[in-house]
Amino acid sequence: MQNIVKDFGHFRAVNDVTLKIASNEFFTLLGPSGCGKTTLLRMIAGFEMPTKGSILLDGAGIASLPPNQRPINTVFQNYALFPHMTVADNIGFGLKMLGRPKAEIEKTVADMIRLVRLDGREKNLVTQLSGGQQQRVALARALAPQPKVLLLDEPLSALDLKLRKSMQIELKRLQMETGITFVFVTHDQEEALTMSDRIAVMSEGQVRQIGSPWEIYDRPAERFVADFIGETNFLTAEVVSVSGDRARVRLASGAEIPASFPANTTPSGKVTVVVRPEHARAAPVSGASVLRGTIHDIVYLGTDTHLHVVLEDGTPFMVRQQNARSGPCGYDKGETLGIELSDDVAQILRD
């Protein structure tokens, strides 16, 4: 996809998006609601025409083809199953429209039924199925014609938490088994991190960062990405030196630590550095402490304890400690402590 722009009247829903999605990839568009994910997906499917830009599939431009001529299928957010057809007829619909012989359709439908584990449900009307089963019919229907690309628009958002977790695993399995490229849309960062090969984080119609789940999480390029995904601490710092792909920065406490920075930038002067709460440790103040502060609040969460610390310069900072032992964490509110960082955990943000 190159320089895609989509306007609705004066409103720019998608602004200059360029993406390259590899075949067999599980690619996720992640962003808050209203950021243009669905619009982008609809342009790939062919329900909307880009105002500007081109969409290529295996090198051929498809932006002006109608949806029925694109080898791309969609799993709709509300499933959009045909209520007057049986499970088998729904799944076989695409192949029937492609004019495939009856025997082939029957065989593929049977394979699909097995793939999504709906054995024995072939003759049911789709309205007689539960939400999770309908979801799987929608998947099977979109997979049956073996599209080059499968588009999924928040397909799990209507399911309850437990079902969602098992469908996440199921989806990943289906993608591996079929080898079809999945383009998955979600606003749920955890979902994106669990399933994706690569993630594009979007906001206000623009792609902010593209990368593998760990790059997105550990090496956010800008404040929006760092803030949107997980919890994070923002610290102001000053760049001391840059060598190769690492910089040394001096924190407000005076300590100097190494930090990574986004590609194609050269950090200098005052910068913002992010540190994930689980990459920091609380300890008595010592030579190893890079930061110092007082405990403002302690939140016990079962698996973890969150220590909300106020640093000497007034900046809030959170430390997440795993509760490796049972019992309270051993600190009290108001106590002064030092904070140590694991190696190579700080990341400089692009301004």
Partner 1 sequence: MARQFSVKRLPGFSTIAMICFIGLYMPIVTLVVYAFNAGTSIAVWEGFSLRWFYSAWNNTQVVDASIRSLQIAFCAAIVATVVATMAAIATTRTAQYRGLTFKYAFINLPLLVPEIVTAVALLIFFSQIKVYTGYSGLGYLIAAHAAFCIPFAYLPIRARLESMDLTLERAAADLYATPFQAFRYVTLPLLWPGILAGMILGFVISLDDVVITEFVKSGGQDTLPTYMLGQLRRVVTPEMNAISTVFLLLSFAIVTIFFFLSRNEKTS
Ligand X SMILES: Nc1ncnc2c1ncn2[C@@H]1O[C@H](COP(=O)(O)OP(=O)(O)O)[C@@H](O)[C@H]1O
Q: What are phi and psi of 347, to 5 degrees?
A: -135, 130
Strand 346-348 relative to strand 270-275: parallel, antiparallel, unpaired? Answer: antiparallel
38 interacts with Mg ion by CB under 5 A: yes
Q: Provide the Cα torsion 149, 150, 154, 158; round to 10°.
A: 180
Q: How far is the CB of 249 from partner 1 (least distance, A)?
A: 50
Q: What are phi and psi of 299, to 5 degrees?
A: -115, 120
The string of DSSP letters for 50-83 reads: -SEEE-EETTEE-TTS-GGGSSEEEEBTTB---T
Question: How many Å is the Cα radius of gyration of the chain?
Answer: 24
Interface with ligand X (CB under 6 A), residue total 11
Q: How far is the CB of 20 from ligand X (least distance, A)?
A: 20
70 or 279: CB nearest partner 1:
70
Burial class of 301 by CB neighbour count within 10 A (0 to 12, 13 to 18, 19+): exposed
37 interacts with ligand X by CB under 6 A: yes
Using DSSP's 3-state secondary structure scheme, residue 83 falls into: coil
Q: Write out the H or E segment, with its range, that includes residue 97.
A: helix 87-97
253 interacts with Mg ion by CB under 5 A: no
Can you read off the two tokens belonging to residue 124?
A: 């049911």
Measured distance CA(82)–CA(61) in Å, rounded: 30
123 interacts with partner 1 by CB under 8 A: no
33 interacts with ligand X by CB under 6 A: yes
Query: Would you tell me how many other CB atoms lie within 10 Å of the CB of residue 54?
Result: 13
38 interacts with ligand X by CB under 6 A: yes
93 interacts with partner 1 by CB under 8 A: yes
322 interacts with partner 1 by CB under 8 A: no
Q: How far is the CB of 46 from ligand X (least distance, A)?
A: 15
34 binds, among partner 1, ligand X, Mg ion, none (CB under 5 to 8 A by kind): ligand X
8 interacts with partner 1 by CB under 8 A: no
34 interacts with ligand X by CB under 6 A: yes
28 interacts with Mg ion by CB under 5 A: no
42 or 219: CB nearest partner 1:
42
Measured distance CA(201)–CA(25) in Å, rounded: 16
Contact between residue 258 and residue 346 where contact means Cβ atoms under 8 Å apart: yes
31 or 277: CB nearest ligand X:
31
Q: How far is the CB of 76 from ligand X (least distance, A)?
A: 12
| Residue number with the smallest Cβ distance to ligand X | 38
62 or 298: CB nearest partner 1:
62
Which residues of the chain form contacts with partner 1 (CB under 8 A)? 45-47, 66-69, 72-74, 76, 78, 80-84, 93-94, 97-98, 125, 127, 141-142, 145
